Amino acid sequence: MVVRDAQVVRAMTYVAASDQVMAEVLGVLSRKRPVFAPVPVGNGQYRLEGAAEWEAGRHTVGPYRTVEPLKELVFPPREFLGKLWAEEERNRIEERMVVGVKNCDLSALRIHDYVFRDSDPEDPRYTALRRSTLIVSADCMDCLPVCFCPAVGEQPYPKGGFDINLSRVGEAWLVEAGSEKGDLALAAARDLMEEATAEMVRRRDDARQAMHARVERQARESGLVPGSDFQVAFRKSFESDLWADFAGDCVECGACNFVCGTCHCFMLGDGYAEDNLPARVREWDSCLFRNFARVAGGANPREHRAARLRNRFDKKFNFFVEVLGAPACGGCGRCIEACMGKIDIREVLRRMQDEG
Ligand code: SF4
Ligand code: SF4
């Protein structure tokens, strides 16, 4: 880990003096691995797009999170399991890097790690994809109108979980290694950068505080109170009418689950691969779908939509607080943008707050 005090910064934090130098560093890092990075799509949003290597002028670090959640790189929407992922195939997963990951996505990986890697039995496919991914995160430099991370205890910059983190400081970039893997990768580009000074780190921290204050202000303007105990609020509002009120607008499209960086439910299906041999497939599932909890014989413990909507909040703001000490929501606001029923998670949380 990087260790620092007021005056001393160890050699694992560097400065890339300009955008051009930063692009050269990313070019060097991508020589050994394909890259996924934000690409602007012209409506203020950024898509996460892959390429054989870093393409300066097309790829960016991105000012805020992409449309797609990071989870799709380690937990793909649809993947073959039974036939393709024998042990020897798993070992053939190629190294890749993902650039510009923001904290809402990075913190969401804690949930996937808990479910797929750290629980028994471990999912070897997930672990292999996770291990083969070099994560180059970045501080948020701007925010979308739907961002509210400080309201759920997060912040617009990473505190850990990255291999390398990039922070804009004036015209330059602070480049911080957060793991041995990141440090080793940066060694190849070491000659392009200077060692960071304590003054650069101080300026980075000032910029972080300013960004944090901005998103926190936005969260407060939406009616949320940072520091609220949503677990208590959820438990107290369990029998409230609020679930039926919001569920009336839900059309069960599943978009809120699919775009969410923390949602991880899936179903398994058996079919045939392209060569006509039997294959098992894993696909994302949605807890809002009517038959999500249906069991053999047709019984359905969450037959009503209100119960399914409540279950989504139960999992995010009660269960994961219980087992991991933090909600399974990074405040990215993707579900707000995706919901065709115009259900805004901030309004649901606010009503939970009011009734809790
Ligand atoms: S619940 Fe909504 S705001 Fe929270 S992480 Fe998922 S998509 Fe983002
Ligand atoms: S995105 Fe909205 S309409 Fe679609 S399932 Fe989720 S809550 Fe329901």
Element (H, E) at 267: strand 266-272
- Compute the mean pLDDT over every residue in the chain, rounded to the nearest whole number: 92
Written as one letter, the residue type at 25 is V
Which atom, in ligand 1's list, is nearest to the CA of 263? 6
| 3-state SS, residue 46 | strand
Query: Is residue 335 in contact with ligand 1, taking CB distance under 6 Å?
Result: yes
Q: Distance, CA 196 to ligand 1 centroid (Å)? A: 34
Query: Is residue 259 in contact with ligand 1, taking CB distance under 6 Å?
Result: yes
Which of 83-97, 143-157, 273-287, 307-321 is least confident?
A: 83-97
CA distance linking residue 198 with residue 251, whole number of Å: 53
Query: Is residue 262 in contact with ligand 1, taking CB distance under 6 Å?
Result: yes
Query: Is residue 250 in contact with ligand 2, taking CB distance under 6 Å?
Result: yes
CA distance linking residue 93 with residue 89, whole number of Å: 7
| 3-state SS, residue 39 | strand
Rounded percentage of the chain residues whose pLDDT exceeds 90: 85
Cβ proximity of 348 and 246 under 8 Å:
yes
| 3-state SS, residue 148 | coil
Closest ligand (CA of 333): 1
Which of 104-113, 117-126, 267-276 is least confident?
A: 267-276
Query: For the whole model, what pTM was predicted?
Result: 0.91
What's the DSSP call for residue 287? Answer: T
Residue 16: CB atoms within 10 A of its CB come to: 22
Which of 76-90, 230-244, 278-292 is least confident?
A: 76-90
* CA distances for 55 relative to 104, 125, 175, angstroms: 25, 29, 19
Confidence bin at 347 (pLDDT 50/70/90): very high
Closest ligand (CA of 255): 2
* CA distances for 281 relative to 124, 270, 275, angstroms: 15, 6, 15
Domain spans of the chain, in order of start = 13-221, 230-263+289-355
Q: Distance, CA 254 to ligand 2 centroid (Å)? A: 5
CA R_g for the chain: 21
Which atom, in ligand 1's list, is nearest to the CA of 332? 8
Element (H, E) at 353: helix 345-355
What is the number of residues in the chain? Answer: 356
pLDDT value, residue 280: 84
CA distance linking residue 21 with residue 27, whole number of Å: 10
Q: Distance, CA 291 to ligand 2 centroid (Å)? A: 15
Element (H, E) at 79: strand 78-80
Spacing of C-alpha 67 from chain mean position: 11
Q: Which residue's alpha carbon is nearest to atom 2 within ligand 1?
A: 335
Which atom, in ligand 1's list, is nearest to the CA of 256? 7
Q: Which residue's alpha carbon is nearest to atom 4 within ligand 1?
A: 329
Q: Which residue's alpha carbon is nearest to atom 7 within ligand 2?
A: 250
Which atom, in ligand 2's list, is nearest to the CA of 246? 7
Over residues 180-190, the mean pLDDT reads 95
* CA distances for 87 relative to 74, 92, 96, 115, 268, angstroms: 17, 9, 20, 20, 19
Which atom, in ligand 2's list, is nearest to the CA of 249? 3
What's the DSSP call for residue 116? Answer: I
DSSP-assigned beta bridge partners for residue 138 = 166
Cβ proximity of 250 and 343 under 8 Å:
yes
Q: Is the predicted pLDDT of residue 75 greater than 60, yes or no?
A: yes
Burial class (CB in 10 A: 0-12, 13-18, 19+), 278: exposed
* Closest C-alpha to 70, from 117, 155, 144, 129: 129
Over residues 309-313, the mean pLDDT reads 98
pLDDT value, residue 55: 95
Residue 206: CB atoms within 10 A of its CB come to: 11
Q: Which residue's alpha carbon is nearest to atom 7 within ligand 1?
A: 260
| Residues 6+ positions from 20 with CB-CB distance below 8 Å | none
Q: Is the predicted pLDDT of residue 6 greater than 50, yes or no?
A: no
Written as one letter, the residue type at 171 is E
Query: Is residue 339 in contact with ligand 2, taking CB distance under 6 Å?
Result: yes
CA distance linking residue 276 with residue 129, whole number of Å: 26
CA distance linking residue 71 with residue 146, whole number of Å: 20
Over residues 157-178, the mean pLDDT reads 97
Cβ proximity of 116 and 127 under 8 Å:
yes
CA atoms within 13 A on the CB side of 111: 26
Q: Is the predicted pLDDT of residue 38 greater than 50, yes or no?
A: yes
Q: Distance, CA 188 to ligand 2 centroid (Å)? A: 46
Confidence bin at 80 (pLDDT 50/70/90): confident
The two three-digit tokens of residue 213, written as one number: 């204050």
| Residues 6+ positions from 197 with CB-CB distance below 8 Å | 9, 15
Over residues 42-63, the mean pLDDT reads 95
Query: Is residue 311 in contact with ligand 1, taking CB distance under 6 Å?
Result: no
Which of 335, 342, 347, 352, when mutated, tests ligand 1's pocket best, judged by the most ligand atoms within 8 Å of its CB? Answer: 335
What's the DSSP call for residue 81? Answer: -
Query: Is residue 253 in contact with ligand 2, taking CB distance under 6 Å?
Result: yes
